[in-house]
């Protein structure tokens, strides 16, 4: 079932990409590698509970991670209307435990239930982490991680976070920040 849903996601992504620019030429050419990297991220991070993916775009890494992590509830945040329409379609077709939020991160955060806390937040190559990671802090549980799929192992210093593990991946790095335990 898992492999069937991964193939369905890949097929839908390529079909929609013909009309909507979901992924660039490099990602399209190396799609299997990008999916494998997302699956490696799921293996390393063990997503469970509530997971936020910011800048979900064409669904990498969130959709493959959601397929192999049924115990997690994914919240995908994407501001581009065509991309979030695609994400909603994939979530429905692949029967994922996920919700798509079609808006900017700052507005989504104001509409979340006040008691919702994420155990994990992920993002792939979205801007400068120092500009947006801090806004997640009130919505992260103690011990939660922020996992950045990026080209560099470098992480900026961010108040309220500890540097976590950095894992080499085939196409870059998975760098993590952690919310210290015992903090609210």
Contact 33, 10 (CB under 8 A): no
Q: What is the CATH number of domain 2-178?
A: 3.40.50.150
Q: What is the pLDDT of residue 183?
A: 58
Query: What's the pLDDT at 75?
Result: 98
What pLDDT does 130 receive?
84
pLDDT at position 98: 98
- Cβ atoms of 10 and 60 closer than 8 Å: no
CB 26 within 8 A of CB 103: no
Q: How far apart are CA 173 and CA 175, in angstroms?
A: 6
- pLDDT of the chain along its 184 residues, tens only? 789 999 999 999 999 999 999 999 988 999 999 999 999 999 999 999 999 999 999 999 999 999 999 999 999 999 999 999 999 999 999 999 999 999 999 999 999 999 999 999 999 977 788 888 999 999 999 999 999 999 888 888 888 999 999 999 988 999 999 999 875 5
Q: Which residues make Cβ contacts (< 8 Å) with residue 82, sequence separation at least 6?
A: 20
pTM over 0.85: yes
Express each pLDDT in 154-168 by its tens digit. 888 888 999 999 999
How does pLDDT run across 112-136, given as a tens digit for each residue?
A: 999 999 999 999 977 788 888 999 9
Q: Which value, to the nearest 10 degrees, does the dihedral of the CA atoms of residues 49, 77, 97, 140 take?
A: 10
CA angle 175, 177, 183 (to 5 degrees): 170
pLDDT at 90: 98
DSSP state of 180: P
Domain ranges of the chain: 2-178
pLDDT at site 184? 54
* 108/97 Cα distance (integer angstroms): 18
């Amino acid at each position: 079932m898992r492999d069937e849903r991964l193939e369905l996601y890949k097929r839908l992504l390529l079909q929609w990409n013909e009309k909507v620019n979901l992924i660039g030429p490099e990602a399209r050419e190396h799609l299997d590698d990008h999916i494998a990297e997302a699956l490696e991220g799921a293996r390393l991070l063990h997503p469970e509970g509530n997971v936020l993916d910011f800048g979900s775009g064409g669904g990498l890494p969130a959709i493959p991670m959601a397929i192999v992590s049924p115990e997690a509830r994914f919240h995908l945040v994407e501001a581009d209307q065509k991309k979030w329409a695609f994400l909603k379609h994939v979530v429905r077709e692949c029967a994922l435990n996920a919700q798509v939020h079609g808006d900017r991160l700052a507005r989504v955060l104001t509409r979340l239930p006040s008691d919702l806390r994420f155990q994990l937040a992920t993002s792939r190559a979205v801007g400068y982490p120092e500009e947006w990671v801090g806004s997640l802090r009130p919505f992260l549980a103690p011990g939660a991680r922020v996992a950045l799929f990026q080209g560099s192992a470098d992480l900026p210093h961010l108040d309220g976070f500890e540097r976590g593990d950095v894992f080499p991946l085939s196409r870059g790095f998975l760098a993590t920040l952690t919310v210290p335990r015992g903090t609210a």
